[in-house]
Structure 1
Amino acid sequence: MMWASLFKAVGGLLLLVLLVLLIQAARQPDQFRVERKLQIQASPEALFALIQDLRQFNRWNPYEKKDPQIQGQYSAQTAGPGARYAWQSKEVGEGSMEITAQEAPQRVQMRLDFLKPFEAHNLAEFQIVAQPGGASEVSWSLSGPSPFISKLMGVIFNMDRMIGRDFEAGLLNLKALAEASPPAAAAAAQK
């Protein structure tokens, strides 16, 4: 009888914890947004060239670097609106990205469609703002709907921190690439 009471108490406690998690998840926003910024010693034109061409983008893309075995496929057009890249990876899942809009040299917008491990359809945007002294501030944001499963995961895991770390790493990769070889970045901007 003592064990039965103990099991009831533990079961009741677990049920209460689950109920609190579900309520907390239901109270989360229906949309999410993650953004990171970094100042880079390069012109907006040079940075724009490294973002709006998907082959150049993948030279510094942190997700591409997470899996050396990633299998990617580019569309015939690799730069500008309509350029598309699809990937399959054990480490970063499966999905595609497509450049949907741009304003040279200050903005690139991409649609991201994730298929695995979870289906999601989000919008990535890069803003490039010229700064004094030849530098530029680059911001990278991701936004989209937050279905209930994402809200529930967000109660347990800090999604802003998880995605934000990847964005920070990517922006540092972009900075290293753009600042290490300004002539190469300028040449890419001319293409």
Structure 2
Amino acid sequence: MLKKISMGVVAALVLFAGFVATRPDTFTVTRSATVPGSPDIAFGLVNDFHQWNQWSPWDQLDPNMKRTFGGAESGVGATYGWTGNDDVGEGQMTIQEASANESIRVKLEFIKPFASTSTTHFTFKPASDGTSVTWTMTGDHNFISKAMCLFMDMDKMVGKDFEKGLASMKTAAQAEATKRAEAEAARKAAAEAATAPAVAAPTP
């Protein structure tokens, strides 16, 4: 009896492994949103890792998270490493490509809770009411991640974070757009005041 049960378990495991092996070898998660302001505002929020704390959906998950910045100050070659609790794990990002106000490609490397490497790509396009930002993540599945995806929807899980991040980016972009508009209004007012004709003092 025990032998039959063991053989049944082995057969089930073989069938499960075979089914897992048929799952897709790659994954793609993408979300888009329109954020306020011109493309250079949203581009700047992504191109400088020092700005990610304003909108990253993971940045607030661990108040004690340790961050390290390296390489270039921003743009190609800039790196951002983090170590935190179980919610954020440990990893590093590196900006590999950056086309001003148009697109950014980032290499994303997780170390903990499990090792993996993927690519995130941001595109920025002018829209009638701001800038259309598209955030995409692509990568390869190994056997373990294929098995995990049988029990969880990666698109919904990661996509929810992307949606939260893009919503926060809207807030950060709006703040920057407002700041720029106020600075421009003040500049124009000062210029107009400087060129306005002087008012003669009344004669006694």
For the aligned pair, the TM-score class normalised by the smaller chain equals 0.7 to 0.9
Is 1:109–2:73 an aligned residue pair?
no
Match of 1:54 among 40, 49, 54: 49
How is 1:73-84 mapped onto 2 (pairs within 5 angstroms)? 73-75=68-70, 77-84=72-79
Aligned to 1:179: 174
Aligned to 1:129: 125
Residue type at the aligned position of 1:64: D
Change (3 A) 1:81 1:27: same
Is 1:96–2:92 an aligned residue pair?
yes
Give the SS at the match of 2:58.
helix
8 Å contact from structure 2 (residues 71, 77) kept in 1: no
Aligned to 1:27: 22
Change (3 A) 1:45 1:181: closer
Alignment deviations for residues 93-134 of structure 1 (CA, whole Å, 9 cap, x no partner):
11100100011101011001111111011111101111124x
User: Higher helix share goes to which structure?
Assistant: 1
| Greater mean deviation of Cα atoms: 97-106 or 68-77 | 68-77
8 Å contact from structure 1 (residues 35, 164) kept in 2: yes
**Distance (whole Å) between structure 1 residues aligned to residue 160 and residue 169 of structure 2:** 14
Match of 2:153 among 158, 163, 178: 158
5+ residue gaps, structure 2: 183-204
Give the SS at the match of 1:95.
strand
8 Å contact from structure 1 (residues 25, 154) kept in 2: no
Aligned residues: 181
**Distance (whole Å) between structure 1 residues aligned to residue 59 and residue 135 of structure 2:** 16
Aligned to 2:144: 149
Structure 1 consecutive aligned stretches of length 4 or more whose deviation exceeds 2 Å = 8-12, 14-24, 183-187
